[in-house]
Amino acid sequence: MRTIVSRLIHHSSSSPLSRIQNVGLLRNVRLLSTDSIDPNKVDEPFKVEEAETVQAPPPPSEKLLVLGGNGFVGSHVCREALSQGLSVSSLSRSGRASIKEPWADKVVWHQGSLLIPDSLKDALNGVTAVVSCVGGFGSNSHMYKINGTANINAIRAAAEQGVKRFVYISAADFGLANYLLQGYYEGKKAAEAELLSKFTYGGVILRPGFIHGSRQVGSMKIPLGVIGSPLEMELMIKK
């Protein structure tokens, strides 16, 4: 193979046509070299033109929708998300929170019910992630509807809208509490199952214990920890 290639090279370089082409190339080089250089001409400095400044669009902002954002847990989620630079909106039955802190003015407040799926459509526009803090107590049927059905509706609507991530705040299993609050925990488990089905890779389930602290209601602060802390200890002992 090496011999064949060598012969082809030597043959092409020694042919009359190649010699004519080589002479032509040499003449062109001479012409270029003699015409382009003027010994009496002073080289001028290069002119550097300023590049046009292109205004690049800002990076897309993550838009978070907090379901139940005016509640005790939801309000903390909204405030923390804002501190991380996220665009935050909230959907709840009462709409805008009664919170008077400055961060509340930066949240877009939507009013609607998760039991009416159509009320979610506008709130989900452009949303990239959802955090559901929706839950409640009452009769077994009411607890199942609020903790289960309402969240299932939200999960399905978010999946249909193309939301990338859904975080569901569920509840830790305390054994005895499961029996006393049957509708509450059955609703939570139904919502968890739906989330794992619709958001196989983008679903997150949090199961905190009893959440307590000081909740601001109007001008009054309610110390939930006074009841919550000993109640959580009692439930953990009986688990």
What is the chain's pLDDT, residue by residue, as a tens digit (239 residues)?
A: 544 434 433 444 444 434 434 434 433 434 334 444 455 555 555 555 655 666 655 455 789 999 999 888 999 999 999 999 999 999 998 887 777 889 999 999 999 999 998 889 899 999 999 999 999 888 999 999 999 999 999 999 999 999 999 999 998 877 766 677 889 999 999 999 999 999 999 999 999 876 655 555 455 555 454 444 444 444 444 44
Q: Evaluate whether 116 touches 94 at the Cβ level (below 8 Å).
A: no
pTM: 0.66
Please give the torsion angle defined by the CA atoms of residues 110, 113, 114 and 118, in that order, rounded to the nearest 10 degrees. Answer: -80
State pLDDT tens for residues 41-100: 555 555 556 556 666 554 557 899 999 998 889 999 999 999 999 999 999 988 877 778
Using CA atoms, how far apart are residues 133 and 138, in angstroms rounded to an integer? 17
By the 8 A CB rule, do 146 and 136 touch?
yes
pLDDT at 98: 75
Q: In the numeric block, which tokens belong to residue 12?
A: 């092409």
Segment (H or E) for 177: helix 176-180
Contact at 8 Å (CB) between 152 and 190?
yes
Q: CB under 8 Å to 196, separation ≥6 — which residues?
A: 203, 205
Q: Which amino acid is at 213?
A: G
